[in-house]
Amino acid sequence: MASGSNQLQAFRQAMVAVYGEFDRIPQQDLATWKPPPQPGNAGHRGRYLWTDAFGVVNFLTLFHETAEPRYLGLAKRLVQSVHDVLGRTRDETSRLPGATDEEPLKGGLRIGKTDEYGPNADGQYHHYLTLWMFALNRLSVAAKDSTFNDLAVQLARAIHPRFIVVRNGQETMSWKISTDMTQPLVNSKGHLDDVTGLAIFQLLENTAKKFGQQNITLQKEMDQYRGMIASEGELHSSSDMLDLGMSLWISHFDRDAQWSRELSQDGLSIAQHIFLRGKPGALGRRMSYRLAFREFGACLGVKCYEDKQLIQGTHALLGSWEEVMYETTPEDLFAITLVMYAAALIPGAFYLGYFGET
């Protein structure tokens, strides 16, 4: 794996592969920069919400690591591009239903799937939206500007009730709803949707208060998430590499909470089997049968904890992928793979407290 100062070089190289030679953009053109559309990256009109959420956070990591203001500006421009594309209908004729120029995220955000219809069609995913809220929140903290956290709160309030459903007399969620947010498209809750919602909504409220916005509250929404978490009993992580990583990442936001302790303890135990004991499974298969971005998610989550042996295991995994990643990654997975590789290499702004906030 890239080491020392070479890590930042590898990080930047991965971001350049997705967003172009941004270091060469003339200063006078930064204010109008648009991320280049990437044909075949599974994004509609060049934008995909999960990929670009990682892109925003990674630009903030570059900003913090280098003290170069251009990276903060690029993060802001990427946010604007996502809102301009995924905050509008697929034909670009109008904002999503419920949104206005004054409140551009009241209609949510499309995930950016290339297909309009079918089993893998465009829509809105709860776990993508909460990740985007996190990216907006980090931008607010890095820029010392409440505007972006305000947008995240606006998005949180708009989408939350649309994902809530009642099944068998129990309040729960659907992980995917229609683009116009009028109907659920699946009959199940995402494994981490409620705990992620709780952690991210708490982060948004805490940040608003630090900006002096004492009137902003998301307590009603958080109480609904708490009710769902309580109804599930003891929480468990998963051996799925991406789910494992995201459970560890979201758990590090509130390490003292019972749900967080349950998820992280289980997740770290699973990670030990995968990274230290060579358990057959994801890492026992040939790389051609594995998805690099999912394994990078696991590396990101593990790095949120101070387990030196596990972190060494992530280094070994990242190193094995570095040898083949650029040549073997399918075109439709290239962008998501590279931004998640960068985050796994240097989690940076994915860490709570990275910008010195308490």
- Report the distance separating Cα 189 and Cα 309, nearest Å: 34
- Tell me the domain boundaries of the chain: 5-350
- pLDDT of residue 103 exceeding 90, the answer is yes
Beta bridge partners of 173: 164
Residue 156: name the closest of 106, 193, 122, 111 by CA: 106
Tallying the residues shown for the chain, one arrives at 358
Kindly report, residue by residue over 270-296, the tens digit of the pLDDT: 999 998 865 434 565 678 778 999 999
**Residue 1 above 70 pLDDT?**
no
Helix or strand holding residue 171 (H, E): strand 170-173
Residue 63 has pLDDT above 60, yes or no: yes
User: Residues 133-146: what's their mean pLDDT?
Assistant: 98
Q: 114 to each of 2, 110, 180, 327, 348, how far by Cα in Å?
A: 34, 11, 16, 24, 30
H/E stretch holding 124 reads strand 124-125
Q: How many CB atoms lie within 10 A of CB 305?
A: 18
Supply the pLDDT for residue 280. Answer: 38
Q: How far does CA 91 lie from the centroid of its chain?
A: 26
User: What is the arithmetic mean of pLDDT over 58-81?
Assistant: 98
CATH class of segment(s) 5-350 = mainly alpha
| Phi-psi category of residue 124: left, alpha or beta, with phi > 0 → left and psi -120 to 50 → alpha | beta
The mean pLDDT value of the chain amounts to: 93
Q: In this predicted structure, what is the pLDDT of residue 284? A: 58
Percent of the chain, pLDDT > 70? 95
Cβ distance 44 to 90 under 8 Å? Answer: yes
Q: Reduce the DSSP state of residue 218 to 3 states and report it.
A: coil
Q: What is the pLDDT of residue 74?
A: 98
Average pLDDT in the 191-206 region?
98
Confidence at residue 91, expressed as pLDDT on a 0 to 100 scale: 93
* Range 116-127 average pLDDT: 93
Q: pLDDT digits over 201-245, tens only?
A: 999 999 999 999 999 999 999 999 999 999 999 999 999 999 999
- Rounded CA separation 357/8 (Å): 23
Ramachandran quadrant class, 45 (left: phi over 0; alpha: psi -120 to 50; beta: rest):
left
Residue 214 is predicted with a pLDDT of 96
Confidence band of 311 (pLDDT split at 50, 70, 90): very high
Q: What tens digit of pLDDT does each residue of 319-341 get?
A: 999 989 999 999 999 999 999 99
Torsion of CA 295, 200, 110, 220, to 10 degrees: 140
Residue 87 has pLDDT above 70, yes or no: yes
